[in-house]
Structure 1
Amino acid sequence: MVGRDPGVTWVYGLVDMQSFYASVEAASRPEFAGHRREDDDKTDPLLIVAGDPERRSGIVLAATPPAKAAGLSTAMNLGEALRMCPKAVVVKPRMRLYLETSARIHYTIRQMFPLHEPFSVDEAFFALPYPSALFPDPIAASRRLKETIWDLFRIRCRVGLAPNKWMAKMANRAAKKEPSGVVWWTEKDVSSRLHSLSVYEMWGLKRRAEILDREFGATTIGDVAAIPEWRLRRRFGVWGTIIHRWSHGLDDSPIDPNAFAAPNKGFSHRITLPRDFSEREDIAVVTLELLDEVCARLRSVRQKGRRVGLSLTYARFEGGFSRTKTLGRAFNAAEDFYPHVIQLLDRWWDGSGVRAVSVGVDLLEPESDTMQLSLFKDVAKRRRLSEVYDQVRARFGETSIMRAASLLPAGQLRDRSQKIGGHFM
């Protein structure tokens, strides 16, 4: 992990690829590539990346600027998107291509800015000393990065520069509205630019922004900055201090080149369903499949977990719940977690149609070679069974051995086995 040298002024940057999946598709297809220009995103095709075009199912994962200008947006139901814009070109996601392109882009950024931290598949932080012989002009360096990514990958990007990572994220949002695609905020911009933004534009808050608006009357980030820290801590706990610092443009997070190599604090798996599921039994089948996946990953790193969670997202991706239950002991077998997940389902599900399901396990601890015996279960036999199960699947694939429940109409395992990250390869 890399921190700050107190004797050097550092400028932090966040580079974000524009409409990444859709841009990769437009750049890789000859019928579109020749018409696109870096300085004019209107030259992109009217294209969206979404679920299954043949069945008109799934959601919009990405859209080119012309598609967004036509009213299409991510998370929109594909059928609704096509009714709104029937001329849109719809392509299936190709996750292998996106991940390979992402890895090459991150390598390119690292070559230009050695102090680099991958943040997501299409975002990265970097930092540079200023002023310095290598980086005499941060804006010029950022523009060179933009030009290099376009020249190599035909993907547009935006860069936000600031005194720290959180401010760089906020500056990046402003850069999306700037023709040059580069914005540099300094400490002087906290009061003049940051504080005038809506509280809902404050990155990282999620639902806390609504609480700040409703309970504190804070409609802007400047309003949040005026709230005493003790009041924020009383309402949000340790998050109160984080919110207070962010509202003043402060963030001590260092650049971590090994961020993706950090040990897991938990494991989870999420699936977007091809249609709304309204039957408890169908949701239970999907939940069990996800638990099997999560537990297999736990066993692969010889860990167990004491807390299990279930999240449901309702129809049209509106509403839902996310609840957890902490157990008295740690487990890594689906059979041990499943009854507790079903309890969460029965207690919190309101009967609405379900479009996405997520299952997670955390509060991890190392798996011991010793085992807790039981009068009612053959623990040693179950462990051996799990080992064989994992070995067969590792050698012959996910569908080489599966539960009978996965053969039911609600089962998603066979379909998911053809995808990467929930999307077709």
Structure 2
Amino acid sequence: MKLIYGLIDMQSFYASCEVAARPEYACHRREQDSLSDPPLVVAGDPERRSGIILAATPTAKAQGVENAMRLGEALGIANRLVVVKPRMQLYLETSARIQQVVQDMFPLYEQFSVDEAFFAFPYPSQLFTDPVAAAQELKGTIWDLFRIRCRIGLAPNKWLAKMTNKLAKKDPSGVVWWTEEDIETKLHPLSVFEMWGLKKRAQVLHDFFGARTIGDVAQIPLYDLQHKFGVWGIVIHRWSHGQDHSLINPDSYDAPHKGISHRTTLPRDFYKRDEVAVVIRELLDEVCRRTRDQGQKGRRIGLCLTYEKLKGGFSKAKTLTALTDQPKDLYPHLMWLFDRWWDKSGVRAVTVSLELLRHSNTLQLDLFEDLTKQRELTRTVDEIKTKFGETSIMRAASLKQAGQLLERSKKIGGHYM
């Protein structure tokens, strides 16, 4: 008896949550017709007609609206567009309830994201006699309980389930099932750019090796892939043959952090160094506080800037010689990265990260500073913020026009509650 792996994801999750929460649309919506939804988008600030599209219903997408499009542009091309502010509390609560339904039906389960989950079940078995019927039952249950559509991919392993899930998004039934026999006839003819998880490596496979299809990749010798991609070459080789040894990990969300990052999208393009520096400092404070909450320290600091229209930018990192969780140790290195790589373009989004984390209770002494006293001060500030909120104590620079901390404190996950 073998396991069948499934991947379920929700269609346009944020937008679907908003439509499902509004009774005025209930009588018009049909499970099998996604265009029965209104042309609704979730965006930053409807009153100011600013921000970007975070999610859009299929009806809005059919009119040319795309995720990450500027709201003003979307309003110019779509008829009678319904624009709503993001409500992260609603989405997180709905996600938790949906994830529980998946786990109740398939106990061998792993949450993959806020709107995705892997699951597995034995087949053939008395409990699961028809995999597609089991998936359809899950789809129907989620629609009945939440009025949210979902798509499900079924396959012999997790990676193939991700591939079939992509195809299920275009299948009228919303469910696609592959077996081992489908690898050569259905996986290999797909474009190399359809290989999930490769990102820019797909372009290298196309340009360097001349691979147009996944079947072409399967013909590349393993040695050549390893020589070009290192350990990733082994992964690519296995995927191209429809192989994946990953197991369902029910505790994936509880695993220790390997890195911690924080990102914010700015309300406008920032062109001044001092403005961006304020945002970098705010994000660094949050990253360091979260790192300390985990009882960890890190030694690779990273900075990612996204430029105007959320296009272009850079992502760079610097590895330090010692572990730290203190902003004062990391801020100069962030600003060095900023000054070294910023080309003076307008900055629209900033991400700060701390990686190479280790659990560490050690304190490296310094001849010129009382680090024990500093650590006690940091711990006290963390406790106050935990109890009274992150704006209970903040840097004076955050009160400047460029400061984002006060506005971000009203949000969950970067979006309004």
TM range (shorter): over 0.9
* CA deviation map 1:167-192 (0-9, x unaligned): 00000111111111111011121121
* CA deviation map 1:58-113 (0-9, x unaligned): 21111001001001111111111111225200000110010000000010011111
Check conservation: 1:57, 1:275, Cα contact below 8 A.
no
**1:123-142 equivalences in 2 (<5 Å):** 123-142=116-135
Within the candidate set 13, 17, 22, 1:29 is matched to 22
Report the alpha carbon displacement of residue 248 of structure 1 after superposing the two structures with TM: 0.9
Report the alpha carbon displacement of residue 378 of structure 1 after superposing the two structures with TM: 2.5
The verdict on how the C-alpha distance between 1:55 and 1:35 changes in structure 2, with shifts beyond 3 A counting, is: same
Percent of residue pairs identical: 64
Q: In the alignment, is residue 413 of structure 1 matched against residue 388 of structure 2?
A: no
Q: In the alignment, is residue 192 of structure 1 matched against residue 185 of structure 2?
A: yes
Report the alpha carbon displacement of residue 339 of structure 1 after superposing the two structures with TM: 0.3
Letter in 2 for 1:407: L
Q: Which residue of 1 aligns with 2:374?
A: 382
Question: How many residues were matched structurally?
Answer: 417
Indicate the SS of the match to 2:167: helix
Indicate the SS of the match to 1:352: coil
Q: In the alignment, is residue 50 of structure 1 matched against residue 43 of structure 2?
A: yes
Say what the alpha-carbon RMSD is for the aligned residues: 1.1
Stretch deviating more after TM superposition (126-135 or 212-221): 212-221
Q: Please give the TM-score of this superposition, normalised by the length of structure 1.
A: 0.96
Within the candidate set 300, 310, 321, 2:303 is matched to 310
Indicate the SS of the match to 2:391: helix
**1:210-225 equivalences in 2 (<5 Å):** 210-225=203-218
Report the alpha carbon displacement of residue 375 of structure 1 after superposing the two structures with TM: 2.7
**1:6-405 equivalences in 2 (<5 Å):** 8-368=1-361, 370-405=362-397
* CA deviation map 1:328-359 (0-9, x unaligned): 11110111100001111111112221111111
Report the alpha carbon displacement of residue 366 of structure 1 after superposing the two structures with TM: 2.2
- What is the alpha-carbon distance in structure 2 between the residues aligned to residue 241 and residue 216 of structure 1? 16
Report the alpha carbon displacement of residue 131 of structure 1 after superposing the two structures with TM: 0.5
What are the ranges of 5 or more consecutive residues in structure 2 without an aligned counterpart? none
Letter in 1 for 2:217: V
The runs of at least 4 consecutive aligned structure 1 residues that moved more than 6 Å come to none
Indicate the SS of the match to 2:148: coil
Q: In the alignment, is residue 423 of structure 1 matched against residue 409 of structure 2?
A: no
Report the alpha carbon displacement of residue 149 of structure 1 after superposing the two structures with TM: 0.4
Report the alpha carbon displacement of residue 309 of structure 1 after superposing the two structures with TM: 0.6
Letter in 2 for 1:348: W
What are the ranges of 5 or more consecutive residues in structure 1 without an aligned counterpart? 1-7
Indicate the SS of the match to 1:400: coil
Q: Which residue of 2 aligns with 1:5?
A: none
Letter in 2 for 1:241: I
Q: Please give the TM-score of this superposition, normalised by the length of structure 2.
A: 0.98
* CA deviation map 1:235-262 (0-9, x unaligned): 1111111011111110010011111111
- What is the alpha-carbon distance in structure 2 between the residues aligned to residue 418 and residue 86 of structure 1? 31
Stretch deviating more after TM superposition (200-209 or 289-298): 200-209
Stretch deviating more after TM superposition (311-320 or 14-23): 311-320
- What is the alpha-carbon distance in structure 1 between the residues aligned to residue 130 and residue 358 of structure 2? 47
* CA deviation map 1:242-297 (0-9, x unaligned): 01111111001001111111111111111111111122211111111000001001
